[in-house]
């Protein structure tokens, strides 16, 4: 027997790199609770309302968690799904199904009660997790090739209720900008343009049906990765909306195998 052979008893204790030193869900909650206590929700809710359901904070996530997200990017890079929609979008995505497998810290962060409570205070809405089979519930978006971008759009809700998007900066070695227009759907309001380059650890939070936005094209030798969390007010979807949403996700984001993998699952929202 070779000296270098791994004893069978040790194999059970091997952990995936994404799991190494991973905080428990209680620890995540305690850390976020402490961090978010320093970000006064009433004032930020007022800012959010004034900006037509949009909030930007350039220093949001605790640094140690931002570093964990950066490590997660490395862990999931081989699983990136590239997409190209001529004239609208080019880039890579990693869906929640893949993150569950390769980056479980992200799944735990998404479910943090402290985070959800704070987002509820900002939005003024009762928030729910997106259904198990929604690949956007949490996902990483990769901009890695020159020209990667996404054109003007809304994060339209195909659910019966509202859909909120939270973006976190993870890696930004790029000139890409998140351009947006506030108040485009506020009656009698004048649209107000804005633009941010959100660095690692920064937060963008908005009502998907209210913020018109885009990400400008990546240039040579640049890279950008952002994390998105999606929360809803009613996780039910009508059958036709479900079909449209699935086709869009298959073509524009995650590929058919990821989107339809749970077809016929208990929620039937593959």
Q: Scanning residues 49 to 78, which ones bind Fe ion (CB under 5 A)?
A: none
Q: Scanning residues 234 to 263, which ones bind Fe ion (CB under 5 A)?
A: none
Q: Sign of the CA dihedral 191, 88, 144, 169? A: positive
Q: Minimal CB distance to Fe ion: which residue?
A: 155
Q: At its nearest, how many Å lie between Fe ion and the CB of residue 155?
A: 4
Q: Are 177 and 216 in contact (CB under 8 A)?
A: yes
The position carrying tokens 């690949």 is 135
Q: What would you report as the CA-atom Rg of the chain, rounded to the nearest whole angstrom?
A: 19
Q: At its nearest, how many Å lie between Fe ion and the CB of residue 177?
A: 14
Going from the C-alpha of 139 to that of each of 19, 228, 253, the distances in angstroms are 18, 5, 10
Q: For residue 171, what are the β-bridge partners?
A: 225
Nearer to Fe ion, 29 or 155 (CB): 155
Stretch that binds Fe ion, among 48-56, 72-80, 130-138, 152-160 (CB under 5 A): 152-160
What is residue 159's DSSP assignment?
A: B
Stretch that binds Fe ion, among 98-106, 155-163, 240-248, 262-270 (CB under 5 A): 155-163
- Assign 3-state DSSP to the chain and report helix, strand, coil percentages, each to 5: 35, 25, 40
Q: At its nearest, how many Å lie between Fe ion and the CB of residue 148?
A: 14
Q: Does 155 engage in binding with Fe ion (CB under 5 A)? A: yes
Q: At its nearest, how many Å lie between Fe ion and the CB of residue 34?
A: 30
Stretch that binds Fe ion, among 5-13, 23-31, 59-67, 150-158 (CB under 5 A): 150-158
Stretch that binds Fe ion, among 14-22, 44-52, 88-96, 153-161 (CB under 5 A): 153-161
Nearer to Fe ion, 112 or 228 (CB): 228
Q: At its nearest, how many Å lie between Fe ion and the CB of residue 180?
A: 10
How many chain residues interact with Fe ion (CB under 5 A)? Answer: 1
218-223-225 Cα angle (round to 5): 105
Q: Are 245 and 237 in contact (CB under 8 A)?
A: yes
Q: What's the CA gap between 50 and 36, in Å, rounded? A: 21
The residues binding Fe ion (CB under 5 A) are 155
């Amino acid at each position: 027997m070779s000296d270098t052979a791994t004893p069978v008893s040790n194999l059970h204790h091997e952990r995936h790199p994404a799991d190494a030193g991973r905080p428990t869900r209680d620890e995540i909650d305690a850390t976020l609770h402490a961090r978010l206590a320093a970000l006064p929700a009433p004032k930020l809710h007022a800012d959010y309302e004034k900006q037509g359901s949009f909030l930007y904070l350039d220093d949001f996530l605790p640094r140690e968690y931002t570093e964990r997200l950066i490590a997660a990017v490395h862990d999931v890079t081989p699983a990136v799904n590239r997409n190209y929609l001529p004239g609208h979008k080019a880039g890579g995505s990693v869906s929640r199904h893949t993150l569950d497998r390769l980056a479980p810290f992200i799944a735990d962060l998404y479910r943090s009660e402290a985070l959800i409570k704070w987002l509820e205070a900002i939005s003024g809405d009762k928030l729910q997790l997106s259904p198990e089979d929604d690949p956007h519930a949490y996902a990483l978006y990769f901009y890695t090739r020159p020209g990667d971008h996404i054109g003007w759009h809304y994060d339209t809700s195909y659910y019966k209720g509202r859909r909120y998007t939270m973006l976190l900066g993870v890696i930004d070695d790029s000139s890409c900008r998140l351009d947006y227009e506030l108040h485009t759907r506020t009656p009698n309001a004048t649209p107000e343009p804005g633009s941010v380059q959100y660095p690692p650890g920064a937060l963008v939070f908005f009502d998907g049906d209210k913020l018109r936005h885009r990400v400008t094209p990546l240039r040579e030798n640049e890279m950008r990765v952002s994390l998105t969390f999606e929360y809803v007010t009613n996780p039910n979807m009508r059958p036709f909306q479900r079909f449209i949403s699935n086709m869009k996700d298959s073509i524009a984001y995650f590929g058919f195998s990821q989107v339809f993998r749970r077809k016929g699952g208990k929620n039937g929202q593959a």
